[in-house]
Amino acid sequence: MLVHSHLLLGYRIAQLRLIFQLEVDQKHSLFNRPLAYVHLFTPTSTACPNSQLYKVSKEECSRGRNRQPLGVVVELTSIARAIHLIPHYGPAVHKCLNSKNSLDLCQTFWVNSFLDKETYQAVY
């Protein structure tokens, strides 16, 4: 998905993990506002000269010896659209890889900017 937020400095690619709403007082600024917890991907860099596709990777943070996905909370309305990611397999394909777990098993992806004209315009 493509997420827009002033905290994220423009559009970022993210994986939606959870949609929720806080139970807060009616006077609170987050009252009745749906939120989303997302895992971020690295910002896009230059396009591959052969395919013209951009490569992104899961953004991670270190916690001791463990590396975990970088997660943030954004307003649900900041999600602009779904986006198609194609796994970058590398030298070998994980033998358990399928359409249900590819976002979890792969680290790097190609952004399919040719999916439709709206995606193409958002990427370029």
Beta-carbon contacts of residue 119 (< 8 Å; ≥ 6 apart): 81, 83, 84, 112, 113
What confidence score (pLDDT) does residue 95 get?
A: 87
More confident residue, 38 or 122: 38
Please answer whether residues 106 and 88 qualify as being in contact, where contact means their C-beta atoms are separated by less than 8 angstroms: yes
pLDDT band at 81 (very low <50, low <70, confident <90, very high): confident
> In whole angstroms, what is the distance from residue 107 CA to residue 99 CA?
14
> In whole angstroms, what is the distance from residue 96 CA to residue 93 CA?
9
What confidence score (pLDDT) does residue 57 get?
A: 92
Please answer whether residues 99 and 105 qualify as being in contact, where contact means their C-beta atoms are separated by less than 8 angstroms: no
What confidence score (pLDDT) does residue 121 get?
A: 66
| Mean per-residue pLDDT over the chain, rounded | 83
Q: Please check the confidence at residue 123 and state whether its pLDDT lies above 70.
A: no
Q: C-alpha angle 99/88/18, rounded to 5°? A: 50
Beta-carbon contacts of residue 33 (< 8 Å; ≥ 6 apart): 21, 75, 76
pLDDT band at 43 (very low <50, low <70, confident <90, very high): confident
Structural domain including 48 reads: 2-123
Question: What's the domain count of the chain?
Answer: 1
